[in-house]
Amino acid sequence: MGDKSEVAYCGLFCGDCVIRKGRLAASARELLGSMRSPEFQKLADGLAGLRPDPFAALKDHRACCRVLDAMLHLDCAKACKQGGGSAECRIRECCRDKAVEGCWMCDDFESCEVLAWLDPVHGDAHRENIRRIREEGLEEFLNGDKQW
């Protein structure tokens, strides 16, 4: 069972979100601490030249640090309806403008261009959740499996 406040406007369940759980950002922060040390940088540069197999990829450790820097932004302490998630979320803005609890209260969700913003990351998962909420109700949705 989940908490209603964890159901985002878009139908995703914030409690299942890998960003919301915070592990990615915490792991990235920890790894960056080690990788930015002068000792590691010297080791990585040296091993990449000294023993290309299996350490050739270590020459790219600075690029890895840039990826880890980006992962530091994958941290969300609050659910969507509690002010978490993306500040640029047009879905939240649309639902608030329409004074609805979520996209499941809107008949246009299947073809909604605002909701399509999530497609590159979630595919059709948010729409599948919305369909379930519409069919079964929010309580039943919270008791079952949720798409992410």
- Compute the distance between CA of residue 137 and CA of residue 98 in angstroms, rounded to an integer: 20
* pLDDT > 70: percent of the chain: 99
Tell me the average pLDDT across 143-147.
91
How many residues would you count in the chain? 148
DSSP symbols for the chain: ---GGGB-TTS-BGGG-HHHH-HHHHHHHHHHHHHTSHHHHHHHHHHHHH-HHHHGGGGGHHHHHHHHHHHTT----S-GGGT-S-TT-HHHHHHHHHT-SSGGG-TTGGG-TTGGGGHHHHTTHHHHHHHHHHHH-HHHHHHS----
- Compute the distance between CA of residue 62 and CA of residue 28 in angstroms, rounded to an integer: 14
The single-letter code of the amino acid at 122 is H
Tell me the average pLDDT across 61-82.
93
Position 33 pLDDT exceeds 90: yes
Indicate the pLDDT class of residue 1, thresholds 50, 70 and 90: low
- Compute the distance between CA of residue 41 and CA of residue 84 in angstroms, rounded to an integer: 35
